[in-house]
Amino acid sequence: MALLISELSGRRGTARFVDVPWKILTDQPNWIPPLRAVVRDGLDDRKNPFYRNADRALFIAERDGVPVGRIAAIENRAHNRHHKDRVGFFGFFDCANDTEAATALLGRAEQWLAARGLDAARGPVSPSMNHESGLLIDGFDTPPVLMTPWNPDWCENLIEGAGYVQAQDLLGYYIPAEGEHSVPDRLQRLAERTAKRTGVTFRTLNVDVLEKEARKVLDLYCDAWSGNWGFVPPAWDEFWHTAKDLKSVLMPQFSFVAEVDGEMVGFMMLARDLNKVLQTIPSGRLWPTNIVKLLLGLPKVQTGRIVLLGMRSDYRHRGLFPLFAYEAARLAQEIGFKGAEASWILADNDALIAPMEAMGMKAYKRWRIYEKSL
């Protein structure tokens, strides 16, 4: 069957692009269909603030009119200004187990990037490192949680077969609220000593003044993540756009900030795992009955994902992790929460990984970001 690669544009083209995973992944039991509206928002180069400093092109692969794959090529000018390089990106990559189609899709994305003077292709990121990132290479037997990628195991071979090599790995840890990995009494004692020594106190996030809180969190987020591989400080309008989207799933009683003398020095934000409800909405469409499912189902979800975690740079090496871990465990016990995924965590972030593994936690998912010289 002949292979055709097409570039798509406009509302109809975007709709065709969004539709592709439903053509190739519906037989995968651990694939959870996303909300189509959310995917469209991530691609909306007119309304999404990310694209004020970026451009993208959409490509699909078809055999005899049947979609077998898709890819987006992305020029992130904010990334290249911040890192002083000429890296291009690819994202929203989904493909059947079809080597020819995957190679052709990646090739078209590379051509688009090279034509814009970029000298490397990196991905998948959809559409940036502040959004869904990485290709799942370990942990296929577990469904994805909110805002994390899932793909079949054959995708690793497809991308590596096209000449891509590892650039960075991202890890996911599941943290149960009770059981053998729950916070032991000794950690409570350590947390209490740390709180006394540092003067750190906690308060829950005030969603009634979410914009004011978000501005403080953004400043601290940029400071905490400064210097991390691939990090680009998001502009306020981009960060606020994401924060508003997360408001409906954010758990304010399980999202807290750490303060010293009233000044924010750290934060942790946890969101309910919306995917637990989305798995009952296979179409991904916001029809009235599906909106009812979301409204009724989401408050019952007792698992989640830590979507933001950071400490001010001058507090990063003061032994605050046990204090954060204890506060999280205490809140989980108060509200009867079952557990959360902490992701994604850079595989070389020893400052965070070491204390987690010292508590008996092991990474149960691994995503990989690839790169190829153009």
The contacts found for 234-240 with CB under 8 angstroms, 24 or more apart, are 234/130, 235/49, 235/52, 235/53, 235/78, 237/49, 237/52, 238/49, 238/50, 238/52, 238/130, 239/214, 240/211, 240/214
Q: Under a CB-based contact definition with an 8 Å cutoff, are residues 371 and 167 in contact?
A: yes
> Taking Cα atoms as reference points, which of 104, 102, 176 lies closest to residue 135?
102
**In angstroms, rounded to a whole number, what is the distance separating the alpha carbons of residues 220 and 163?**
38
Please check whether residues 196 and 118 belong to one and the same domain. Answer: no
- 154 domain residue, yes or no: yes
**In angstroms, rounded to a whole number, what is the distance separating the alpha carbons of residues 106 and 121?**
9
Please check whether residues 259 and 311 belong to one and the same domain. Answer: yes
Helix axes 210-225, 236-246, angle to 10 degrees: 120
CA angle 96, 370, 85 (to 5 degrees): 135
Please check whether residues 339 and 212 belong to one and the same domain. Answer: yes
The confidence score (pLDDT) of residue 181 equals 47
Structurally, the chain folds into a number of domains equal to 2
Please check whether residues 147 and 193 belong to one and the same domain. Answer: no
- 374 domain residue, yes or no: no
- 361 domain residue, yes or no: yes
Q: How far is CA 280 from CA 49, 74, 125, in A?
A: 31, 32, 26
Please check whether residues 117 and 182 belong to one and the same domain. Answer: no
The confidence score (pLDDT) of residue 180 equals 45
Please report, for the domain that includes residue 264, its CATH number.
3.40.630.30
Q: Band of the pLDDT at 184, cuts 50, 70, 90?
A: low
The confidence score (pLDDT) of residue 335 equals 77
**In angstroms, rounded to a whole number, what is the distance separating the alpha carbons of residues 310 and 257?**
10
- 299 domain residue, yes or no: yes
Q: How many residues does the chain have?
A: 374
Peptide bond connecting 31 to the previous residue in cis, omega within 30 degrees of 0: no
Residue tagged 């001010």 (tokens): 312
Instruction: Count the neighbouring beta carbons within 10 Å of the beta carbon of residue 188.
Output: 15
Please check whether residues 274 and 344 belong to one and the same domain. Answer: yes
Q: Which residue has the higher pLDDT, 208 or 159?
A: 159
Structure tokens at 183: 């916070």
Read off the pLDDT of each residue in 293-320 and give the average, rounded to a whole number: 87
> Taking Cα atoms as reference points, which of 214, 287, 284, 289 lies closest to residue 250?
214
**In angstroms, rounded to a whole number, what is the distance separating the alpha carbons of residues 156 and 12?**
30
Q: Band of the pLDDT at 372, cuts 50, 70, 90?
A: very high
**In angstroms, rounded to a whole number, what is the distance separating the alpha carbons of residues 370 and 161?**
12
Q: Which of 171, 192, 217 is the last residue of a domain?
A: 171
Structure tokens at 156: 């690793």
**Across the chain, what does the average pLDDT equal?**
91
Please check whether residues 128 and 183 belong to one and the same domain. Answer: no
Q: Which of 142, 171, 200 is the last residue of a domain?
A: 171
Read off the pLDDT of each residue in 12-21 and give the average, rounded to a whole number: 98
Range of the domain at 87: 3-171
- 373 domain residue, yes or no: no
Please check whether residues 299 and 354 belong to one and the same domain. Answer: yes
Please check whether residues 239 and 302 belong to one and the same domain. Answer: yes
Read off the pLDDT of each residue in 255-271 and give the average, rounded to a whole number: 89
Please check whether residues 199 and 333 belong to one and the same domain. Answer: yes
Q: Which segments of 147-262 are extended strands (E)?
A: 165-176, 201-204, 256-260
* pTM metric for this prediction: 0.93
The yes-or-no verdict on residue 367 having pLDDT over 70 is: yes
The yes-or-no verdict on residue 187 having pLDDT over 70 is: no
Q: How far is CA 113 from CA 38, 75, 237, 316, in A?
A: 25, 7, 26, 37
CA 88, distance to chain mean position in Å, is 19
**In angstroms, rounded to a whole number, what is the distance separating the alpha carbons of residues 219 and 121?**
29
DSSP state of 147: T
- 278 domain residue, yes or no: yes
- 281 domain residue, yes or no: yes
Q: Which of 171, 192, 227 is the last residue of a domain?
A: 171
Considering only 12-26, 111-125, 223-237, 313-327, which range has the smallest mean pLDDT?
313-327
The confidence score (pLDDT) of residue 328 equals 80
Considering the chain, what percentage of its residues have pLDDT values greater than 90? 65
Model confidence pLDDT, tens digit, residues 105-141: 999 999 999 999 999 999 999 999 999 999 999 999 9
**In angstroms, rounded to a whole number, what is the distance separating the alpha carbons of residues 271 and 145?**
10
Model confidence pLDDT, tens digit, residues 69-105: 999 999 999 999 999 999 999 999 999 999 999 999 9
The yes-or-no verdict on residue 183 having pLDDT over 60 is: no
Model confidence pLDDT, tens digit, residues 209-260: 889 989 988 999 998 888 889 999 999 999 999 988 888 898 888 888 889 8
DSSP state of 97: S
Q: Under a CB-based contact definition with an 8 Å cutoff, are residues 19 and 68 in contact?
A: no
Instruction: Count the neighbouring beta carbons within 10 Å of the beta carbon of residue 206.
Output: 12
Please check whether residues 320 and 337 belong to one and the same domain. Answer: yes
Residue tagged 């990310």 (tokens): 50
Q: Which residue has the higher pLDDT, 340 or 105?
A: 105
- 187 domain residue, yes or no: yes
- Our CA dihedral for 43, 48, 53, 59, rounded to 10 degrees, sits at 10
Please check whether residues 190 and 92 belong to one and the same domain. Answer: no
Considering only 140-149, 172-181, 236-245, 320-329, which range has the smallest mean pLDDT?
172-181
